[in-house]
């Protein structure tokens, strides 16, 4: 069964540093997403990406965040100048007409 792959599974970074979270969506999917889940809280939408540009973004997705599809397979989320409150699980997802598939997530810990 096709899957969405995320790396790394766990990232620890110092406050103020930049991190890049990587995702390989399912190859024939056209929409890509980043969601985050702070421990004990709900899954929150960050951004969607279609046709090589951002389709929609939430209030959370401010100038600190950016997304890129640098090649035909990878989809990245960059977080600049990380803050303690950025600590969360970050889920990548991709979708087709049949639904969404989520990756297993990257646990980001900002210390």
Partner 1 sequence: RKEVEQDPGPFNVPEGATVAFNCTYSNSASQSFFWYRQDCRKEPKLLMSVYSSGNEDGRFTAQLNRASQYISLLIRDSKLSDSATYLCVVNPMNRDDKIIFGKGTRLHILP
- The yes or no reply on residue 51 touching partner 1 (CB under 8 A) is no
By DSSP bridging, strand 19-24 and strand 10-13 are unpaired
Q: Whose Cβ is closer to partner 1: residue 79's or residue 105's? A: 105
> What 3-state class would DSSP assign to 50?
strand
- The yes or no reply on residue 104 touching partner 1 (CB under 8 A) is yes
CA 29 to chain centre: 16
**What is the rounded distance in angstroms from the CA atom of residue 82 to the CA atom of residue 73?**
26
**What is the rounded distance in angstroms from the CA atom of residue 18 to the CA atom of residue 109?**
12
Binding mask 5-34 for partner 1 (x = CB under 8 A): -------------------------xx-x-
User: Which of 21, 65, 67, 95 is close enough to bind partner 1 by CB under 8 A?
Assistant: 95
Binding site for partner 1 (CB under 8 A): 30-31, 33, 35, 41-45, 48, 50, 55-56, 89, 91, 95, 99-105, 107
């Amino acid at each position: 069964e096709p899957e969405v792959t995320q790396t790394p599974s766990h990232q620890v970074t110092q406050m103020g540093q930049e991190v890049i979270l990587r995702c390989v969506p399912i190859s024939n999917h056209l929409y890509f997403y980043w969601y985050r889940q702070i421990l004990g809280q709900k899954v929150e939408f960050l951004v969607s990406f279609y046709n090589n540009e951002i389709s929609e973004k939430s209030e959370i997705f401010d100038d600190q965040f950016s997304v890129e599809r640098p090649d035909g397979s990878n989809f990245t989320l960059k977080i600049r100048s990380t803050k303690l409150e950025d600590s969360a699980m970050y889920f990548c997802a991709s979708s087709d007409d049949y639904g969404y598939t989520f990756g297993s997530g990257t646990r980001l810990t900002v210390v």
